[in-house]
Chains A and B, each alone.
Chain A
Amino acid sequence: GAVVSQHPSWVICKSGTSVKIECRSLDFQATTMFWYRQFPKQSLMLMATSNEGSKATYEQGVEKDKFLINHASLTLSTLTVTSAHPEDSSFYICSARAQVFTEAFFGQGTRLTVV
């Protein structure tokens, strides 16, 4: 299957700082990328859907100014957690797909710990 690389795999940051997570499709062009958040032993909560060259569509309840998503090219999307707080600590996962209504390929996830 296609490969999606997510970086970093884990990060620890101080409260009040910002953290950027990258998601790259290595061998295909991703017209759509998704960002999810996952709490321990729970399901994936969709945060936003991003299409290349346009603004991300955020799910209800997700703060746009806190979770900045940029999909600047067909192979790269970034999620920036701004002014991070301990409650932002979580597992963040990106996925990408080349066409609508097809399978999605997932990155390995980023474990964010805010101290």
Chain B
Amino acid sequence: SQQGEEDPQALSIQEGENATMNCSYKTSINNLQWYRQNSGRGLVHLILIRSNEREKHSGRLRVTLDTSKKSSSLLITASRAADTASYFCATDGGAQKLVFGQGTRLTINP
């Protein structure tokens, strides 16, 4: 079962620009996580934000969480060609299982 939805489904921007992806979910969560997947590979964990946190930073990544709206956003600043990948949010709640959103396919054009 898929927990939520991400938008946009696909995003294409120029290198150096910022990329913003959004994630919405439906149930209560303990935390929300963002992952990256390069084509045909496994996923790499990017950042975890807990339900009592509103914003978190890691390098060029900035994640926000609004539990009242059940939504989160991932911002990648100063994008690079190597950031081209699919990005997924995953909710982690009472059932103690990670359920992924539909993902955003990000393309950075040089």
Listed in ascending order, the chain A residues whose CB lies under 8 Å from chain B are 1, 4, 6, 32, 34, 36, 41-46, 49, 57, 59-60, 91, 93, 95, 100-109, 111
Q: How large is the interface on B (under 10, 10 to 19, 20 to 34, 35 or more residues)?
A: 20 to 34
Contact call A41/B100, Cβ cutoff below 8 A: no
Contact call B88/A1, Cβ cutoff below 8 A: no
15 A-B residue pairs with CB within 8 Å: A1-B44, A1-B45, A4-B42, A6-B42, A34-B98, A36-B100, A43-B103, A46-B1, A49-B96, A101-B92, A103-B45, A104-B45, A106-B44, A107-B42, A108-B41
Contact call A44/B88, Cβ cutoff below 8 A: yes
Given the known inter-chain contacts A43-B88, A46-B1, please indicate yes or no for A104 contacting B41, CB distance below 8 A. no
Chain A residues whose CB sits within 8 angstroms of the CB of B35 once the complex forms:
106
- For residue B20, CB closer than 8 A to chain A, the reply is no
Chain B residues whose CB sits within 8 angstroms of the CB of A46 once the complex forms:
1, 97-100
Among A43, A49, A104, A109, the residue within 8 A (CB) of B102 is A43
